[in-house]
A = this chain, B = another copy of it.
Amino acid sequence: MKRQSMAPAGNRPETRPTLAAVAARAGVSASTASLAFSGRGPVSDDTRAKVLAAAAELGYGGPDPLAQSLRRGRSGIIGALIPARIGVSFRDPVLIQTLDGLAEEISAIGAGLLLLPDQDPDSGYVNVTDAPVDAVVLVGCSADALSALDALQRRSIPIVQIEGPVDAGVHTISVDNRGGVRLLAEHLRAFGHTRVALVTLALDRARTAGPLTAEREAGATVTAALDRIAGARDVYPGVGGWVAGASRSDAGREAALALLTVPPAGRPTAILAQSDLLAAGVLAAAEELGLRVPEDLSVVGFDGIRVDGLERSLTTVWQPSQDKGAAAGRAIVEMLAGRSPEPVSFDVRFQPGDTSGPAPA
């Protein structure tokens, strides 16, 4: 058992041909062979043909990207730090759109996207720190994630965050979360609502659901969620609500059930959900409870996405998710070129729908 199974496979069948081997076989120097492959220098057609022939004979698959990366100092890989594992993160259309815009822009420099779930450092998942990335984009991550990044900054790897604390000394792409929600809140106030409740996005990396308490808010690390709360408070100062675990309709439904199954006198007449997906869940909960929308309950969302299977037109605020990703991509490209991009902030757009109306009498 020892002998045969241990031997990898004979003497050196593993040995793959290198550029040097190809060059030797073609009777030219390694430098010339390199030039022949990259087409970056003057090489006679004759020589090139010889090199290519030698490569074919040896079964050489082209220059090793690893070696190229080291030499060039670039791997052509941009790390995308996402808030949770793939199966969870990619349920969120906003994240998908953002990444799509990002991927599109960085393809301009031939770079690809490496998915880096923001897990516990000891979860076995790749650590941002020791991945061969040229730059990192934080998309929708909690501020906790930033802590892991000083190692990157020491290595002077460009970092861009999409939504995050502005004081972090990191290039930030964002929208006017606070102003957007303020628009929604004003809309509700204009309709005469006084008992309003929030359904917020996850507040921290742990993303546990539950009532929105002062302590939880104090410990929150997701800037977008906090800004949106602040926007609501601009109009309804002490407004409370429920923290959803994820931006998904099931989480919204649970939150709404918790908020709505109270004596009618104290029940909110409007729910301000921090995402359209959450709002869809709120609508589902309302229907289950026999509440009519908007007669008994007004519901507003955030994002302006098209929610699959939702016939209603949601009152919401639209944000340019894809553009945010694209802006992050362009910023990365700029930074890798040694320039300093201007910070970008996008506007949101109020989008009235049929899920909000006058407060019930």
Q: Cβ of A107 and Cβ of B129 under 8 Å apart?
A: no
Apart from A69-B70, A86-B100: 6 A-B pairs, beta carbons within 8 A: A85-B103, A103-B115, A107-B124, A107-B125, A114-B115, A280-B309
Contacts known (A76-B131, A77-B114); A16 close to B155, Cβ less than 8 A = yes
Is there contact, CB below 8 Å, between A112 and B110? no
Chain B, Cβ-Cβ closest to A151: B61
Q: Which has the most chain B C-beta neighbours within 10 Å: A8, A62, A309?
A: A309
For the complex, is A75 an interface residue (Cβ under 8 Å from B)?
Answer: yes
Cross-chain contact B86 with A112 (CB below 8 angstroms) = no
Is there a chain B Cβ closer than 8 Å to A10's Cβ? no
- Cβ of A45 under 8 Å from chain B: no
Tell me the minimal C-beta distance from A34 to chain B in angstroms. Answer: 14
Which residues of chain B are within 8 angstroms of A130 by Cβ–Cβ distance? 62, 65, 68, 76
Beta-carbon nearest neighbor of A280 in chain B: B309
For window 124-162 of A, CB contacts with B under 8 Å fall at 124-126, 129-133, 151-156
| Contact call B124/A110, Cβ cutoff below 8 A | yes
Partner of A107, one of B60, B107, B126: B126
> When the two chains form the complex, which single residue of B64, B65, B117 contacts A103, counting CB atoms closer than 8 Å?
B117
Among the listed stretches A89-97, A218-226, A254-262, which one makes contact with chain B, having 4 or more residues with CB under 8 Å of it?
A89-97
Point out the residues of chain B lying under 8 angstroms from A14, CB to CB.
156
Is B97 a contact partner of A65 (Cβ separation < 8 A)? no
A307 surroundings in chain B (CB, below 8 A): 308-309
| Interface residue A104 (Cβ < 8 Å from any Cβ of B) | yes
Asked if B249 and A308 sit within 8 Å, CB to CB, the answer is yes
Residue pair A131, B100 in contact (C-beta under 8 Å): no
A133 to B65, CA, bound (A): 8
Number of residues from A at the complex interface, CB < 8 A: 66
Q: How far is the CB of A119 from chain B (nearest CB, A)?
A: 8
**Bound complex: CA of A325 vs CA of B68, how far in Å?**
30
Contact digits for A153-180, partner B, Cβ 8 Å, 1 yes 0 no: 1111000000000000000000000000
CB distance from A200 to the nearest CB of B (A): 21
In chain A between 282 and 322, which residues have their CB closer than 8 angstroms to a CB of chain B? 307-310, 322
Residues of B within 8 A of A73 (CB): 66
CB A202 to nearest CB in B, in angstroms, measures 18
Query: Does A111 touch B at the CB level, under 8 Å?
Result: yes
Q: How far is the CB of A280 from chain B (nearest CB, A)?
A: 7
A67 on the B face (CB < 8 A): yes
Contact B61 A155 (CB under 8 A): yes
CB distance from A263 to the nearest CB of B (A): 29
**Shortest Cβ gap from A311 to chain B (Å):** 9
The 5 closest A-B CB pairs, nearest first, are A309-B309, A87-B100, A61-B154, A61-B155, A65-B132
Asked if A156 and B16 make an inter-chain contact with CB atoms under 8 angstroms apart, the answer reads: yes
B112 touches A116 (CB 8 A): yes
- Report if A99 contacts B (CB, 8 A): yes
Q: Are B86 and A126 interface neighbours, CB within 8 A?
A: no
Specify which chain B residues have a CB less than 8 angstroms from the CB of A112 in the assembled complex: 114-116, 125-126, 131
User: Within 8 Å of chain B (Cβ to Cβ): is A192?
Assistant: no
A86–B61 alpha-carbon span in the complex (Å): 28
